Structure 1
Amino acid sequence: MSKKILVIDDEFGLLEVVQAYLQKEGFDVFTAANGKQGLLLFSEVKPDFIILDLMLPDLSGEDICKSIREVSNVPILMLTAKVHEESRISGFELGADDYLTKPFSPRELVLRVKSIFKRVSGIEKSEHILNYNDGDLRINKDTREVYKKNQLITLTPNEYDILLVLASNSKYVFTRDQIIEQAFGYMFSGYNRTIDSHIKNLRKKIEDNVSEPCYIMTVYGIGYRFGGNNHEAS
């Protein structure tokens, strides 16, 4: 079954070009020219991927992203004419998975979509569950599901990939650039400070006390390491 992609942008010419390129690659593409229409299609279509413009005539892309993240971890790639670092940082804090700055190459957009789908699909199966702190935190690498105290928690693709990199190498201290390289590869276009935004969101979801984390540990002056104690799941 073809993957469904929702594109929300108020530039009709851009919508037509992006739709054509994505359909050529076999995706089912749905388009919306404003935020309200985009949210309606999101509810009706239940897309597998969203391409979202930040500057829309009715609702801001940030507000749309926030609304979607309250109910879904569907991958979101943001399009923006804003080039300032802080604009990107705020988008990642809301749960965006990638950014492209306008103008951009449609071929690069397609590559980024495919790259994120590849990460989300979990092609490289592990066939086991990572179990930490006597089952307090469990990571199913086959299904990309994470459980905290036996409750399924919702992580964005980026949050999951960062967690998996750290948890799979619990004795290793990663710099931000190393996390980017291991989790996202060459397709990542953000700043290394965006890792801090993802870490902040991760801690809110998996830590009992974000002020005294036991899983995502800061190594000052270097980066981050994983602090959970691993036990193989039975």
Structure 2
Amino acid sequence: MREKIIIVSDNEGLRIFLVQLLLDRGFDVYSCPVQSQSAVVLIRTHYPDLIILDIPMPSSASSDVCAEIRRISDKPVLFMDHYNDDNMKIFGLNAGGDGFINIPVHNELLITQIKAQIRRYTGAFAVNRRNVLLFPGLEVDLNARTVMIHGHEAVLSAKEFQLLALLAKNPNRVFHTETLYNLIWSETKLGDLRTVMVHIYSLRQKIEKNPHHPLYIHTVRGSGYKFNGKLVQ
């Protein structure tokens, strides 16, 4: 199956160049200008494996587009880096990006970066043919929506399971509290960010041997939460 890439950029020449390059390398490619709703429609329609974002940073437009993307997708996002500026890199990462593509584009490096990001997303955790995430002492069955902890089933609510599955599918990736709220509770928009903290607390009570010193779900002070990537074999 061909992997899908979406390119979001107001630079028509850059879009045309990237689309042709990626098509030639065997990807399915879609593109649109920097309008958050256009990007949202493409993502919801095509379910991309990776998104390339070329927008001015830092800016309210970039924040809006990133926020919209992160509400509906946890797939890798690569920013086009025109300036090689550390402050912009920090902004991009905090906005939900996963990496940067330097301008001018080095074709082979770009392809390598894209493949590495997709491979990291899909293969950084152990998944067998039954679509089960396997970690020491923990088994998350994505099809049956069950969780086994040291051989015993942990009874999770629907939202607790969604949280655990999202974090476990992305080891070592830091999810901001707001991002988790938008991804898990986007349909309802009820409650506030404390909802995430309450569910993380409850989830730890059910899967962690010592919830005060968690093995699986770590707090990243000032940012949010991540799944312990050291457990990935």
The TM-score range, normalised by the shorter chain, is 0.5 to 0.7
Matches within 5 A, 1:57-206: 60-122=61-123, 125=126, 129-130=134-135, 138=138, 140=140, 149=156, 150-153=160-163, 155=166, 160-162=170-172, 198=174
CA contact (8 A) 2:3 2:28 kept: yes
TM-score by length of structure 1 reads: 0.59
The runs of 5 or more residues in structure 1 that have no matched partner are 133-137, 164-197, 219-224
Q: What SS is found at the alignment partner of 2:171?
A: helix
Deviation, 1:146, is: 11
Larger mean CA deviation between 14-23 and 114-123 belongs to 114-123
CA distance 1:124–1:90, change in 2 (3 Å)? closer
1:20 alignment partner in structure 2: 20
In structure 2, how many angstroms separate the alpha carbons of the residues matched to 1:15 and 1:89? Answer: 24
**Mapping of residues 25-36 of structure 1, within 5 Å:** 25-35=25-35, 36=37
Structure 1 residue 111 displacement after superposition: 0.9
In structure 2, list runs of 5 or more residues that go unmatched.
148-153, 181-195, 203-211, 221-226
Relative to structure 1, the CA distance from residue 23 to residue 71 in structure 2 (aligned partners, 3 Å threshold; closer, same or farther) is same
Post-superposition shift, 1:110? 1.2
Q: Is the 8 A contact 2:4 2:29 kept in 1?
A: yes
Structure 1 residue 106, shift from structure 2 partner: 2.6
> Kindly tell me: are residues 84 and 156 of structure 1, through their superposed partners in 2, closer, same or farther at Cα, counting changes over 3 Å?
farther
Q: Which amino acid aligns with 1:129?
A: L
* 1:216 aligned onto 2:221: no
Q: CA deviation at 1:155?
A: 4.0
Tell me by how many angstroms 1:59 deviates: 7.1
Give the secondary structure class of the aligned counterpart of 2:29.
strand
Output one character per residue of 1:133-173: Cα deviation in whole Å (capped at 9) or x when no partner. xxxxx564999x9979452226479x82316xxxxxxxxxx
Count of residues in correspondence between the two structures? 180
Instruction: Report the CA distance between 1:77 and its aligned residue.
Output: 0.9
In structure 2, do the counterparts of structure 1 residues 199 and 5 end up closer, same or farther at CA, with 3 Å as the change threshold? Answer: closer
Relative distance call for 1:49 and 1:23 in structure 2 (3 A) is: same
Q: Which amino acid letter does the alignment assign opposite residue 8 of structure 1?
A: V
Opposite residue 121 of structure 1, the aligned amino acid is T
Matched, 1:5 2:5: yes
Structure 1 residues 156 and 117, CA, compared in 2 at 3 Å: closer, same or farther? farther
CA distance in 2, matches of 1:122, 1:109: 19
The alpha-carbon deviation at position 60 of structure 1 amounts to 2.1
Q: CA RMSD in A?
A: 4.3
C-alpha contact (below 8 Å) 2:8/2:54 kept by paired residues:
yes
How far does residue 45 in structure 1 lie from its aligned partner after superposition?
A: 2.3
The C-alpha deviation readout for 1:85-121, integer Å capped at 9, x for no partner, is 2222222223211112322213211111111111222
How far apart are the structure 2 equivalents of 1:85 and 1:7?
Answer: 23
